Amino acid sequence: MGSQKESMLSVEGLSCKVYWEFVGVPTASCPSPGCEEVLLRGHGAYRRYVGGQYAWVRRLRCPRCRVSHALLPDDLCAYRDSRLGEVEVALTAGTPSLGAEAAGQTGSDGVRRVRRWLRAAAGSLSEKIKALLPAVAGPWWQRAQAAVGSAAGWLCRLRHWLWSSASCFLGGLSGLYRHGRPGRWSPRGSP
């Protein structure tokens, strides 16, 4: 499954659809504070499940601070074999069974999976994301849609928006990672 302690980042436009056809090292600068001008270099790859199959995920490393980053397709969840597009339609569907249907998650396993997504989305992630978005009444995804639009792909756009506006990587449902890094942190520095 790859290292779960590694930093993560995505490059806009490098979706699952194009990620595995892309040759070469995408241009990305180091997200670590003080390294903004430093371009990351290729640093191998690891395997993880995508669509039920093993796929290679590139690693990039900063020649200055030496931190390595997993380069995730920009529409793929961290630590889950799910795409942001599936999760976003499930979130807004209203119920787990409607969500499962919308996300193409079949059977009772699919409903259980979506129920886990909804639980994860309603937990601490929700508060963290809300704190970073302009205030709008309703759940965090309504705030998110107000910020990045509600057309399909809004969760992916939110990932890029949070990255450029708050230096936080949206894992999907697994959390928010300051500068892409795992670890405990709170928005606005409160404990």
Residues that bind Zn ion (CB under 5 A): 30, 32, 35, 62, 64-65
The CB-of-26 to Zn ion minimum distance in angstroms stands at: 16
**Nearest to Zn ion of 67, 103 (CB atom):** 67
Nearest approach, Cβ of residue 156 and Zn ion (Å): 25
32-141-139 Cα angle (round to 5): 120
30-55: buried (b, 16+ CB within 10 Å) or exposed (e) per residue? Answer: bbbeebeeeebeebeeeebebeeeeb
The nearest distance, CB 113 to Zn ion, in angstroms, is 36
If the CB atoms of residues 30 and 173 are measured against Zn ion, the closer one turns out to be: 30
The smaller minimum CB distance to Zn ion, of residues 8 and 62, is found at 62
Q: Between the CA of residue 107 and those of 94, 97, 113, what are the distances in Å?
A: 18, 9, 10
